[in-house]
Amino acid sequence: MSEELDQLQEENNETLYERTTFIVDKGQDPMRIDKWVQARVIGLTRSKLQNGIEAGFLTVNGKIVKSNYKTRPGDEVVYMSFINPDYTELKPEAMDLNIVYEDEAVMVINKPSNMVVHPGIGNYTGTLLNGVAYHLLAQNPELNEELLPRFGLVHRIDKNTTGLIVLAKTPEAASHLAKQFFNHTVERKYVALVWGDVEEETGTIEAHIARHKQNRKMFDAYPEGEIGKHAITHYKVIERYNYVTLVSCILETGRTHQIRVHMKHIGHTLFNDWEYGGDRILKGTIYTKYKQFVDNCFEACPRCALHAATLGFEHPTTGEKMVFESELPSDIQAAIVKWKNYKAAAHT
């Protein structure tokens, strides 16, 4: 048997699923597909597997099958499994959610800054998913809480990144959305304020991304592709303000910190991105008045200036193309106004 493990954009902010591909041996006797796969995936319970098969997370030769399907030599078996974040219980919590859209299959939420998407070490409460669990259980008290963390979340964005995120309300919707993320058919556009006057009006950054060799909490760009995951970011200048530039970024892939790492790689670190050095003056002559101005901008936008502005996907039930837009939040807008005024004053 040959086996290939393809992470669906491993360790990234755009998906929480991985795909495992198997080829059935030529000498393999017929066997129920659920038993065959369970024997080959460590830690996979039969009930979890059968739920996944029912939801469409398993295909044989590109087609969804039932649990009692009998394997045949040469079959290509693909199983998509949930990359479980570091938590086992999800405590529902009442909170105000900015729900942009909701129906029986999906919900789109405009996430605020300073909110973690899902529970993990040090963040077991107060996350977006805690609020979603409360919301969904209020709609349907009979809902199995076990399904919420496993099928609700199909991608994520950083704690201090604002903007749009889609969640599935059924296993079937999760399967459909996860496949769209894997096939790179989900439309994702971010808006970022970056240091420096970006030279080209448009451009494409192509460089592998992997953990930083010295600081394992950070990521770095490896343009030669010697390590890491392939990553592509397309950017376009929206407006220039002398020492900073407002850009839009379209993700062709979705690696961890992709925009932050790629923009730093080309010399344009995101404004006030403390992890990557954007929380200090990177452009402009440092003198007292200018330093005070930049500090005021940092105070206006006390986080990495990155916003998930556009999210488009095919509705998992109707097949309709759905596109959602989110305006820049007030903190990034406040920083932009200051830079606009600074630019105007410099040209008078």
From CA 253, how far away is CA 258, in angstroms rounded? 8
For residue 216, give every residue at least 6 positions away whose Cβ sits within 8 Å of its Cβ, in sequence order, or none.
none
Are the beta carbons of 198 and 250 closer than 8 angstroms? no
Residue 197 known to be catalytic:
no
From CA 302, how far away is CA 335, in angstroms rounded? 10
Are the beta carbons of 101 and 108 closer than 8 angstroms? yes
From CA 88, how far away is CA 90, in angstroms rounded? 7
Which residue matches tokens 């949930």? 82
From CA 111, how far away is CA 223, in angstroms rounded? 32
Burial class (CB in 10 A: 0-12, 13-18, 19+), 250: middle
Q: How many Å from the N-terminal Cα to the C-terminal Cα in the chain?
A: 72
CA 24 remoteness from chain centre: 33
* Token digits of residue 120: 């993990």
Are the beta carbons of 232 and 204 closer than 8 angstroms? yes
- Point out the catalytic residue in the list 34, 75, 158, 220: 158
Give the count of beta carbons closer than 10 Å to the beta carbon of residue 206. Answer: 15
Question: Checking DSSP bridges between strand 162-168 and strand 306-314, what pairing results, if any?
Answer: parallel
Closest by CA position to 187, among listed 239, 234, 246: 234
Closest by CA position to 108, among listed 329, 326, 328: 326
Catalytic residue ranges: 158
